[in-house]
Structure 1
Amino acid sequence: MRILRTDEARFQGLPDYPFSPNYLDVEPNLRMHYVDEGPRGASPVLMLHGEPSWSYLYRHMIPLIAAAGHRALAPDLIGFGKSDKPAAMADYSYERHMAWLSSWIEKLNLRDITLVCQNWGSLLGLRLAAEHPNRFRCIIVGNGMLPTGETRAPAMFSLWKAFVTHSPWLPVGRIVQLGTERTLSRAEQAAYEAPFPSTEYKAGARAFPKLVPVSRDDPAGQANREAWKVLEKWRKPFITCFSSGDPITRGEDRYMQRRIPGAHGQPHITLRGGHFLQEDSPEDFARIIIDALKSEMAA
């Protein structure tokens, strides 16, 4: 497996991203980057990004969560951000992403985790919580889901998958802008492009849409159905925090609220924004997380 590593110089001077880098090998010679802010001994808030973003997505939320006394952790998935990037699309699979994240959590020995996840962060994070339930205390999902291949994919997803598969051009900054209601500055769009100095570095971003299970025969679909068996018995707090303007995941919040016992009676909320609600409503999203942890500690 040929591994690419983005030069650190490309990340110098990014707006609102002053965080010191942290690295951990999730397998030999494969390095994952993560932001780690706040007290190391505090309960961790694990924020998982999706496609085609990286931990930069959580830049406005990390300081708020750390200031509230929590350990704010935001890894870059392999293939994204400052993490290493296998060069071939065939190097990526759902199971490999799961193995890389599981290795990272186990090596840091994270426990009592509050999971915050969106987009592919939800496809990985919800599986992660279901497969390691003793490590998690609370789940907060924003614009995400755990698909099993049993229902038809939204038309918007099919169009996105076709574009990523066939287009020679993958403008990451513009893609994030399309999923965001507010106007990103040129510097912010450039920050989303920073991990990818050339198209060669974008194999991970191109691979993700193909890894979503869209049929019952998909191996990941079966694994996700097993994860749902755990989630259907999940009684720890489960909160949905979706946005008003996301055509891809609309309605999935209500589906999870009905199906997951821990969602009953929780303060589910709809925030203003597009698919990337971390860009449109970061303070409100962070407040949901902080308030959920306050409520849990008071209970």
Structure 2
Amino acid sequence: MITKKTLTINDQKISYIDEGAKTAPPVLLIHGVPESSMLWKHIIPEIAAVGFRAIAPDLPGFGQSARFPYESAWENYVTFINDFMEALELEKIHLVVHDWGGMIGLRWACDNPDKVESLIITDTVLLPGYTWHPLAQKWRTPGYGEKVMEAMANKESWMAGMKKEIPSVEEGILEDFFAIFESAEKRDVILELYRSANKQLTEPYLNLAAIKNPVTILWGEHDPYISTDFAYQMRDQQFPHAVVHIIPETGHFIHVQAPDKVIPFLKEHFLSILK
């Protein structure tokens, strides 16, 4: 059974999962929107089982972590990764990212390529030219985004919608995801994050080409938010040595929709590092 721990960073409560031997190579897993560390519920035990330490924070404002006492802009989440790693005394990491966790994590990696031992990139992108999906465009629109977010705070309706999108997902995982919608203050986290996106977010994207360590790119075949085209664009522009796997008959949330299809590729990635 996976349980969350807590620590305090800059007077702020942070909830996180930490499984595996403390002396094992650390793997940092960064979730997206609207998610929490429970996105990785099925993945974390597998990482620990092959000899790594799996660490997954609830990003500030998500899950059980307190929100920033200031704007939830992408720059502050990048700084959070540094603060979180320092708090846990992590020097170098294997990085696993999804959705906004990818934009944040990969943006951090642009500035710290020497700290990335390997990468697993899932359904996310850090490339100029990406067009926001319709829901993101609504969130990015002042006034309209607030109304959309308020409607999404109807738990019964939101849960029904997510179960339709991910029929196999566990209720407890969705309960943890829904925490971001529980108050107006928390819902603003999503709006602030999406509205903070600018060209400075993607500007140093070619820096990722400096990472020569193993890279695996996993993608849901029918991701409605970020098409599989971006999996190949990232490989071609940033990681020519990457291995790309498209998970058949899955959408955006592959880790909780079809963990049985994701885990073999994850094991392959980490076991190859141990050889």
**TM-score w.r.t. length of structure 2:** 0.86
8 Å contact kept, 1:26–1:101:
no
Q: Which of 185, 188, 191 does residue 176 from structure 2 map onto? A: 191
One-letter amino acid of the counterpart of residue 56, structure 1: M
Aligned to 1:15: none
- Number of the residue aligned with 2:29: 47
Secondary structure of the residue aligned to 1:169 is helix
2:245 to 269, 275, 285: 269
Do 2:255 and 2:262's aligned partners in 1 also have CA atoms closer than 8 Å?
yes
**Residues 120-174 of structure 1, C-alpha deviation per residue, up to 9 Å, x if partnerless?**
11011101222122221111111001144x5543446424645644322224753
1:291 and 2:268 aligned: yes
* SS in structure 1 of the partner of residue 65 of structure 2: coil
SS in 2 for 1:125: helix
Q: Which runs of 5+ in 1 are unaligned?
A: 1-17, 214-220
**Percent of aligned pairs sharing the same letter:** 24
Q: Which residue of 1 aligns with 2:104?
A: 124
TM-superposed CA distance for 1:195, in Å, is 5.6
Q: Partners of 1:46 and 1:113 in 2: how far apart?
A: 6
Residue 77 (structure 1) aligns with: 59
Determine the structure 2 residue equivalent to 1:11.
none
Matches within 5 A, 1:133-282: 133-148=113-128, 150-155=129-134, 157-159=136-138, 161-162=140-141, 164-167=145-148, 168-171=150-153, 173-174=158-159, 177=162, 180-184=165-169, 186-194=171-179, 197-213=182-198, 221-226=199-204, 228-250=205-227, 251-261=229-239, 263-264=240-241, 266-272=242-248, 273-282=250-259
- The equivalences for 1:12-91 within 5 A come to 18-27=1-10, 29-86=11-68, 91=71
Cα deviations across residues 193-236 of structure 1 (Å, max 9, x unaligned)?
A: 246543333221332221232xxxxxxx225312x231133322
Q: Report the 3-state secondary structure (helix = DSSP H, G, I; strand = E; otherwise coil) of the residue aligned with 2:96.
A: strand
Q: Secondary structure at the match of 2:151?
A: coil
Matched to 2:234, the amino acid is M
Provide structure 2 residue ranges, at least 5 long, that are not aligned to the other structure.
Answer: none
Quote the RMSD (CA, aligned, Å).
Answer: 2.5
CA offset at residue 112 of structure 1?
3.7
Distance 1:147 1:157, change over 3 A: farther
Q: Distance in 2 between matches of 1:114 and 1:169?
A: 38
- Pick closer, same or farther for the CA change 1:31–1:200 going to 2, 3 Å: same
Aligned length: 267
How far apart in 2 are the matches of 1:125 and 1:193?
A: 22
Residues 185 and 122 (structure 1), Cα distance of their counterparts in 2 relative to 1, 3 Å cut? closer
Q: Is this contact kept in 2: 1:246–1:275, CA < 8 A?
A: yes
Cα gap change, 1:78 to 1:164, in 2 (>3 Å): same
Distance, in Å, in 1 between the alignment partners of 2:97 and 2:201 is 19
1:285: Cα distance to partner? 2.2
Give 3-state SS (helix, strand or coil) of 2:29's partner.
Answer: strand
With normalisation by structure 1, the TM-score equals 0.79
